[in-house]
C-alpha cells in the first residue's frame, strides 16, 4: 500500500516537473550586457569643436549677422552633454540667444528711427528711438548674465576659451549704443527747430487706371514758410516701387509711371523728401490709386473621381474669358496659360478661346486616399490670376494573402511557411514581395520571398533557440510588384516548443525510473549496482526529440539534457550556451571535453551561420552521454546500495 502511494506521488511529481518546464525556458532576447557605454556616447563633447562653433556664432554677432548666430546657437544646444552639465549648458545658450534677439530688435528700431526722421515724421521717430533704447538695455543686462554663465560652462566643459568670446558681444552692444546716440542727436536737432521744416504734396492723374496703363504724379516741395525748394531730390513710392526726380525752379516735380501689375483694388502712392543739410525731411499723405483689371472665372472638372496608380487623369476647364473681350484695350486675351498641379507635379497648358484640357499621369508612388488637383491661371497683362481646385481619390485593387505553416515546431528549427497572393478575382500575382516576420518577443527576424507565376511563395524562418514555449504569431505581408494592387497582411500561429521542456521531461523520467524500478525489482535478487548498469544511457540513445531540427543542434540538445540531468539543473532562462558550459564543466568529469567542443559547434551553427559535420556532432554527443552514464551508474549504485542496506536493517529490527 505504501509502495502504491509512493508511486502515485512520484508520478505526480513527474507531471508537475513537465508542466513546470514551460516556466524554466529562456526569455526573449535582451540587449547585450557587455556593451561598452563609452563607445555609444562620449562623456563630454569635444572642447575644440565647441569653441570653434561658438567662435563662429560670436563673430556673426559682432558683424550683425543675428539670424546666422541664432541658427548656430540652436545647433550647439542640440549637442549631447551629460545630464549633470545639461542645465548650465542650456541656460548659457538660452541667455546668449536672448541677447542676440534683443540686439536684432535694437538695430531694426534704430533704422526705423532714421527712416522716420528723413521724412519728417518726428513722432514715429521718437517711438522707434524709445523701443531701440529698451531693447538695447535688455541686451546689455542679458550680456552680464551670459558673462557669468560662461564661467560655469567653460569650467564644466573644459573650454576656457569661451569666456574670451564674450568680448564680441560687448563690442556689438557698444557699437549699437553709438548708433542710438547718433539717431537721438539728430532727432533732438529736428525737434528743437534747428533744421528748416519742409512740406511736400502729391496728386495723381488718373486716379483710376488699368494695370500697366500710364499714370502721372505731380507735387510741390516747399520750406516752412511756403517758399519753393529748387533742385531737391524727391522720391515717389508706388506699391513698393520707387521713382526719383528733381524739383524745378518753382519747387514743382512730376513723375510718370505705369500702374503696377499687382491685381488688387487699390495701391498707396506717396512722395517724400529726405533730410539734407539744414533741411528737415517731409512726407506727403498717401494717395490711393484704384486699379482696373479683368478677373477671370476659372473652373475645372475631372473625368474621374477615382483613379488607379499608373493611369491618367484628364483635367479640363474654362477661364471664363472668351475671344471677344473688350476690343478697346487692343490686347489679346484669348490665349492664357493655366498651370495644373497634382500629385506633386505641375503642368502648363494654353487655354484657347477660354477652354483648356491636360492629362495628368498618376504616379505609382501616389498614396491611397484623396488628392488635391489645383489649377492656377497665370496673370498676363490686364488679366489677373485665379484659382480653382478639385479632389480625386487614388485607390488600389484589393489583394488577399493565404498562408500555411506547421502547427507545432521546436525552437531552434526552421519553419516552412507557404501560401499564395491573389487579386480580387482570385488570380495569382507573380513577382510580389512577401515578408514573414517573427514577433518581437522571438527576436523579430524577417525573411523575404518572391511569389511565382501562380502567386505562390515559400519561405523558411528559424524559430530562435530562446523562443519560449507557447504560440508564436508570424506576421505575413505581401507587397505586389504592380502599383495598382494594395498590399495584403495576415498572420499564422505556430506553437513553439522549447527544448528545455524536453530536458525537464528527461530529468523527471530519470527520477521516476531511479525511484520506482528498484522497488519493483526487490525480491528478485537485483542490486542497486545491477540496476545502475542496466539503466546506463547508451551512446545514440539521446533523450531529445529532433523534429525537423538541424543535426548539430539536435546533438547539442541531447548532450545538454544529459549534462543538466547530471548536475541537477538544466540551462537557465538567463544563460547562454557558453555560460551553461562554464557552470557545469566542473561537475561532469570526462564529459567536459567533448561537451565544450560540441557547445562551440552549436554556437557557430546557430549564431555564426557556419555549418558543421553532423556525424562529428553526434559522436561528441555520444561521448558526453557515455561519460555521464558511467558517472550516473556509480551514483545510482551507491544510493541504491544504501537503500538496500537500510531495508535489511529494517527487516532485522522487525525480526528481533
Q: Is the pLDDT of residue 379 over 80?
A: yes
Q: Please name which of 513, 581, 505, 509 lies closest in space to residue 545, comparing C-alpha atoms.
A: 505
Structural domain range at position 277? 198-292
What CATH number should be reported for the domain holding residue 247?
A: 2.60.40.10
Residues 116 and 208 placed together within one structural domain of the fold: no
Between 11 and 427, the higher pLDDT residue: 427
Is there a domain that residue 38 lies in? Answer: no
Q: Is the pTM of this model over 0.85?
A: no
Instruction: Note whether 460 and 558 are same-domain residues.
Output: no
Instruction: Report residue 128 as a C-alpha cell.
Output: 522707434
Residue 167, in any domain of the structure: yes
SS (H, E, C) 229-252: CCCCEEEEEECCEEEEEECCCCCE
Whether the pLDDT of residue 205 is over 90: the answer is yes
Question: In DSSP terms, which residues pair with 446 in a beta bridge?
Answer: 437
Task: Please indicate, yes or no, whether residues 550 and 609 belong to a single structural domain of this protein.
Answer: yes
The CATH number linked to 334 is 2.60.40.1930
For the segment 136-147, the average pLDDT, to the nearest whole number, is: 93
Largest Cα span, the chain: 156
pLDDT > 90? residue 448: yes
pLDDT at residue 632 in the model: 63
Give pLDDT tens digits for 387-411: 999 999 999 999 999 999 999 999 8
Domain-embedded: residue 247? yes
Stretch 305-328: mean pLDDT = 80
**Angle (nearest 5°) at CA 605 between 603 and 608:** 75
Residue 27 DSSP SS3: coil
Q: Measure CA 243 to chain center.
A: 52
236-264 pLDDT per residue, tens: 999 879 999 999 999 999 999 999 999 99
- Indicate the residue among 170, 191, 212 that finishes a domain: 191
User: Terminal CA-to-CA distance of the chain, rounded, Å?
Assistant: 23
Nine cell digits for residue 276? 539734407
pLDDT, residue 633, reads 63
**Among residues 384, 236, 364, 261, which one has the least CA distance to residue 320?**
384
Q: Are residues 215 and 106 in the same domain?
A: no
Domain identity same for 490 and 529: no
- Residue 14 is assigned to a structural domain of this protein: no
Cell triple for 409: 515546431
State the pLDDT at residue 322.
67
The three grid cell numbers given for residue 423, joined into one nine-digit string: 487579386
Residue 370 has pLDDT above 80, yes or no: yes
Rounded to 5 degrees, what angle do the CA atoms 156, 161, 163 make?
A: 75
Q: Verify that 526 and 651 share a domain, yes or no.
A: yes
> Does residue 549 or residue 417 have the better pLDDT?
417
pLDDT band at 639 (very low <50, low <70, confident <90, very high): very low
Q: Is residue 337 part of a domain?
A: yes
Helix (H, G, I), strand (E, B) or coil at 281: coil
Decide the pairing of beta strands 399-404 and 408-410.
Answer: unpaired
Query: What's the half-sphere exposure (Cβ side, CA atoms, 13 Å) at 609?
Result: 0
Strand residues in 149-188 grouped as ranges (E)? none
Residue ranges of the alpha helices (H) in 21-46? Answer: 37-40
Confidence at 549, pLDDT banded by 50, 70, 90: low
- Number of Cβ within 10 Å of residue 350's Cβ equals 11
Of 481, 491, 487, 480, nearest to 437 by C-alpha is: 491
Q: Report the pLDDT value the prediction gives residue 334, as an integer from 0 to 100.
A: 62
Same domain, 554 and 628: yes
Confidence of residue 174 (pLDDT cuts 50, 70, 90): very high
Looking at residue 215, what is its pLDDT? 97
Q: Read off the pLDDT band of 505 (50, 70, 90).
A: low
Q: What is the pLDDT of residue 80?
A: 80
Residues 68 and 164 reside in one and the same domain? yes
Q: How many domains does the chain have?
A: 5
Question: What integer pLDDT is reported at residue 86 of this predicted model?
Answer: 86
- The residue among 502 and 47 whose pLDDT is bigger is 47
Cis amide prior to 328 (ω within 30 degrees): no
Residue 21 has pLDDT above 60, yes or no: no
| Predicted local distance difference test score (pLDDT) of residue 535 | 31
Residue 213 lies in a domain: yes
504 and 549 share one domain: yes
Residues 527 and 616 in one domain: yes
638 and 504, same structural domain?
Answer: yes
Q: Measure the CA–CA gap between 175 and 168, rounded to whole angstroms.
A: 11
End residue of a domain, out of 479, 497, 515? 497
Mean pLDDT score of the chain: 81
- Report if residue 27 sits inside a domain: no
Q: E strands along 182-309, which residues?
A: 198-200, 203-205, 208-210, 214-223, 233-238, 241-246, 252-258, 266-273, 282-283, 287-292, 299-302, 306-307
Q: Alpha-carbon distance 577 to 245, whole Å?
A: 93
Q: Per-residue pLDDT averaged across 320-333, rounded?
A: 55
Give the three-state DSSP class for 489: strand
Final residue of a domain: which of 446, 479, 497? 497
Based on the domain organization, do 97 and 178 belong to the same domain? yes
pLDDT in tens, 461-482: 988 887 888 899 999 999 998 8
On whether residue 21 sits in a domain, the answer given is: no
Amino acid at each position: 500500500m505504501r509502495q502504491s502511494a509512493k508511486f502515485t506521488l512520484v508520478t505526480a511529481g513527474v507531471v508537475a516537473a513537465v508542466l513546470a518546464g514551460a516556466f524554466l525556458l529562456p526569455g526573449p532576447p535582451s540587449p547585450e550586457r557587455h556593451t561598452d557605454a563609452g563607445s555609444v556616447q562620449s562623456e563630454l563633447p569635444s572642447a575644440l569643436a565647441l569653441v570653434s562653433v561658438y567662435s563662429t556664432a560670436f563673430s556673426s554677432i559682432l558683424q550683425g549677422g543675428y539670424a546666422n548666430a541664432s541658427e548656430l546657437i540652436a545647433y550647439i544646444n542640440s549637442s549631447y552633454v551629460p545630464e549633470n552639465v545639461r542645465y548650465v549648458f542650456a541656460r548659457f545658450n538660452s541667455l546668449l540667444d536672448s541677447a542676440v534677439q534683443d540686439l536684432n530688435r535694437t538695430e531694426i528700431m534704430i533704422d526705423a528711427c532714421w527712416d522716420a526722421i528723413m521724412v519728417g515724421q518726428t513722432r514715429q521717430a521718437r517711438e522707434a528711438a524709445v523701443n531701440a533704447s529698451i531693447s538695447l538695455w535688455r541686451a546689455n543686462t542679458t550680456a552680464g548674465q551670459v558673462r557669468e554663465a560662461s564661467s560655469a560652462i567653460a569650467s564644466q566643459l573644459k573650454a576656457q576659451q569661451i569666456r574670451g568670446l564674450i568680448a564680441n558681444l560687448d563690442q556689438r552692444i557698444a557699437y549699437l549704443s553709438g548708433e542710438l546716440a547718433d539717431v537721438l542727436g539728430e532727432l533732438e536737432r529736428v525737434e528743437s527747430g534747428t533744421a528748416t521744416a519742409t512740406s511736400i504734396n502729391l496728386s495723381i492723374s488718373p486716379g483710376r487706371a488699368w494695370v500697366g496703363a500710364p499714370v502721372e504724379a505731380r507735387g510741390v516741395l516747399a520750406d516752412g514758410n511756403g517758399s519753393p525748394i529748387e533742385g531737391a531730390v524727391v522720391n515717389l513710392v508706388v506699391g513698393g516701387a520707387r521713382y526719383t526726380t528733381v524739383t524745378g525752379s518753382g519747387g514743382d516735380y512730376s513723375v510718370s509711371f505705369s500702374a503696377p501689375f499687382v491685381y488688387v483694388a487699390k495701391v498707396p502712392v506717396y512722395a517724400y523728401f529726405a533730410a539734407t543739410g539744414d533741411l528737415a525731411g517731409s512726407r506727403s499723405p498717401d494717395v490711393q490709386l484704384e486699379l482696373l483689371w479683368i478677373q477671370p472665372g476659372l473652373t475645372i472638372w475631372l473625368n474621374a473621381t477615382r483613379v488607379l496608380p499608373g493611369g491618367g487623369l484628364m483635367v479640363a476647364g474654362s477661364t471664363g474669358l472668351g475671344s471677344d473681350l473688350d476690343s478697346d484695350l487692343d490686347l489679346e486675351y484669348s490665349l492664357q496659360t493655366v498651370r495644373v498641379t497634382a500629385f506633386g507635379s505641375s503642368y502648363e497648358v494654353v487655354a484657347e478661346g477660354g477652354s483648356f484640357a491636360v492629362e495628368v499621369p498618376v504616379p505609382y508612388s501616389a498614396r491611397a486616399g484623396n488628392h488635391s488637383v489645383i489649377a492656377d491661371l497665370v496673370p498676363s497683362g490686364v488679366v489677373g490670376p485665379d484659382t480653382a481646385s478639385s479632389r480625386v481619390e487614388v485607390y488600389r485593387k484589393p489583394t488577399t494573402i493565404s498562408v500555411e505553416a506547421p502547427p507545432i515546431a521546436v525552437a531552434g528549427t526552421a519553419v516552412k511557411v507557404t501560401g499564395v497572393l491573389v487579386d480580387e478575382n482570385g488570380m495569382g500575382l507573380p513577382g510580389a514581395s512577401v515578408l514573414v516576420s517573427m514577433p518581437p518577443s522571438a527576436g523579430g527576424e524577417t525573411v523575404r520571398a518572391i511569389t511565382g507565376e501562380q502567386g505562390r511563395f515559400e519561405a523558411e524562418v528559424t524559430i530562435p533557440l530562446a523562443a519560449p514555449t507557447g504560440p508564436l504569431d508570424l506576421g505575413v505581408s505581401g507587397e505586389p510588384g504592380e502599383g495598382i494592387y494594395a498590399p495584403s497582411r495576415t498572420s499564422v500561429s505556430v506553437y513553439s516548443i522549447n527544448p528545455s521542456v524536453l530536458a525537464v521531461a528527461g530529468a523527471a523520467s530519470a527520477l521516476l525510473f531511479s525511484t520506482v524500478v528498484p522497488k519493483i525489482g526487490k525480491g528478485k535478487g537485483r542490486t542497486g549496482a545491477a540496476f545502475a548498469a542496466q539503466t546506463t544511457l547508451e551512446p545514440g540513445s539521446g533523450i531529445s526529440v529532433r523534429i525537423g531540427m538541424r543535426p548539430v543542434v539536435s546533438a547539442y540538445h541531447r548532450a545538454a539534457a544529459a549534462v543538466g540531468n547530471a548536475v541537477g539543473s538544466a540551462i537557465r532562462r538567463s544563460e547562454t550556451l557558453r555560460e551553461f558550459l562554464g557552470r557545469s564543466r566542473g561537475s561532469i568529469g570526462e564529459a567536459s571535453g567533448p561537451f565544450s567542443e560540441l557547445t562551440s559547434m552549436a554556437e557557430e551553427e546557430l549564431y555564426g551561420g557556419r555549418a558543421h559535420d553532423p556525424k562529428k556532432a553526434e559522436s561528441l554527443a555520444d561521448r558526453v552521454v557515455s561519460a555521464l552514464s558511467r558517472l550516473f551508474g556509480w551514483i545510482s549504485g551507491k544510493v541504491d546500495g544504501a537503500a538496500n542496506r537500510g531495508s535489511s536493517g529494517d527487516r532485522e529490527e522487525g525480526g528481533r
